[in-house]
């Protein structure tokens, strides 16, 4: 079932100065879509447009009625005066989560991500990897229908990355849809259902890996190979 439909004609930070053009896709239940592109390609602008943060937009972004979504930014954001557990309390209050359910879920996630001993400390004192794990816990506590995740692997060590991938796989199995922006192409190739390759503000290729290979003319190519074929092709066109 479709959770999100995106039809962006154009969007940007200033009027009549669009950064992205013609980005169209949908997100289905249980699907993990990889949003791929170099720095400056328009990935962050695409995410901000989906989140409704850009005033200058033409097109439509529609979530299925009643859908809850969680956004995990590339750089973790916390309230300086709140401990991690107080962040969890705040999130539970905003989302209207039953107390017994959320406390049980919070304890499970804190244990899984090895943050139980740090739950009553300020996230601002955490290492970058710990902050990233804390953001994941805050996103998962509400059991959202859609996750929008920007560069989740930054700061995660291999063990934490494995935990993250196992967690989002569980979320997919319960029906959550995930849009994930990432530069880690070898991991994306293994875990994503479909891909959106954005370059120079436009959607250059989309679909499964087999679809991407056909569109790039590399029938045995890796996602990395296809990505660079698209970037090089765009460079030659200029």
Q: For 22-47, how does the pLDDT look when each residue is reduced to its tens digit (9 = 90+)?
A: 999 999 999 999 999 988 899 999 99
Q: Average pLDDT, stretch 44-61?
A: 96
Say if residues 79 and 156 touch (Cβ distance below 8 Å).
no
pLDDT of residue 120: 98
pLDDT of residue 237: 38
- Domain residues for the domain of 82 are 78-143
User: Is there a domain that residue 122 lies in?
Assistant: yes
- Quote the CA–CA distance of 42 and 20 in Å, as a whole number: 6
pLDDT of residue 232: 80
Q: Which helix (H) or strand (E) holds 149?
A: strand 146-150
pLDDT exceeding 90 applies to what percent of the chain?
85
Domain total for the chain?
1
User: Is there a domain that residue 86 lies in?
Assistant: yes
pLDDT of residue 234: 58
- Quote the CA–CA distance of 9 and 32 in Å, as a whole number: 23
User: Is there a domain that residue 111 lies in?
Assistant: yes
User: Is there a domain that residue 124 lies in?
Assistant: yes
- Give 231's pLDDT tier (boundaries 50, 70, 90): confident
User: Is there a domain that residue 174 lies in?
Assistant: no
User: Is there a domain that residue 91 lies in?
Assistant: yes
Beta-bridge partner residues of 72: 149
User: Is there a domain that residue 214 lies in?
Assistant: no
The DSSP secondary-structure symbol of 124 reads G
User: Is there a domain that residue 152 lies in?
Assistant: no
- pTM tops 0.85: yes
Residue 154 vs residue 100, higher pLDDT: 100
R_g of the chain, CA atoms, integer Å? 18
Residues in the chain: 238
pLDDT of residue 154: 80
């Amino acid at each position: 079932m479709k959770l999100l439909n995106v039809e962006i004609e154009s969007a940007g930070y200033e009027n009549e100065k669009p950064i992205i053009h013609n980005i169209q896709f949908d997100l289905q239940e249980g699907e993990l879509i990889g949003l791929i592109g170099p720095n400056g390609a328009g990935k962050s602008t695409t995410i901000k447009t989906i989140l409704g943060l850009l005033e200058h937009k033409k097109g439509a972004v529609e979530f299925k009625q009643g859908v809850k979504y969680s956004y995990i930014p590339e750089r973790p954001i916390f309230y300086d005066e709140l401990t991690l557990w107080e962040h969890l309390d705040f999130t539970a209050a905003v989302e209207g989560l039953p107390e017994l359910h959320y406390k049980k879920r919070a304890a499970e996630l804190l244990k899984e991500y090895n943050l139980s001993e740090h739950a009553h400390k300020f996230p601002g004192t955490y290492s970058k990897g710990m902050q990233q794990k804390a953001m994941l816990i805050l996103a998962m506590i509400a059991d959202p229908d859609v996750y929008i995740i920007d560069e989740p692997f930054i700061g995660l060590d291999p063990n934490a990355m494995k935990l993250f991938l196992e967690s989002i796989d569980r979320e997919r199995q319960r029906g959550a849809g995930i849009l994930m922006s990432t530069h880690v192409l070898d991991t994306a190739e293994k875990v994503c259902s479909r891909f959106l390759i954005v370059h120079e503000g436009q959607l250059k290729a989309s679909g499964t890996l087999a679809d991407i290979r056909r569109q790039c003319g590399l029938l045995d190519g890796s996602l990395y190979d296809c990505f660079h074929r698209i970037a090089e092709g765009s460079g030659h066109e200029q």
